[in-house]
Amino acid sequence: MFESGSVITGVISGGWSQLQDTQALSKGDMQKNEYAKHTAKNVTGALGVMAGMEYGAILGSMLLPGVGTFAGTVVGGLMGNRLGRWAGVQAGSLLAEQSRTTHQS
């Protein structure tokens, strides 16, 4: 499904963010529950980058082959990252809330 370029870009994007969050956790600058939320955000952001690049390139190629492919890849990657990270924040927050209510019961 994904081309190698989008996979590499997604892995680098998500991996870099995850590395920074792991360092913050190890320094004590971040709590474990926040780390879990950030991890969800990083994973879904990386997947969003990959999908956004792929579908953006397809759409750009349909509208304006060549230049549109490049522009679609860039815009799709950015939008996919933003949407993926938003979805990850929502999912991470929901999971954290469920975990909190389960432990309080």
Residue 33 pLDDT: 85
pLDDT attached to residue 103? 63
Q: Could you give phi then psi for residue 30, rounded to 5 degrees?
A: -140, 140
For residue 105, give the DSSP letter: -
In angstroms, rounded to a whole number, what is the distance separating the alpha carbons of residues 76 and 53? 5
Are 72 and 57 a contacting pair, CB within 8 Å?
yes
Quote the pLDDT of residue 1: 57
d(CA 34, CA 1): 32
Say what the pLDDT of residue 63 is.
95
| C-alpha closest to that of 8 among 44, 50, 45, 39 | 50
Distance from C-alpha of 5 to C-alpha of 27, rounded to nearest angstrom = 33
Regions of the chain with pLDDT less than 50: none
What pLDDT score does 27 carry?
95
Would you state the pLDDT for residue 2? 64
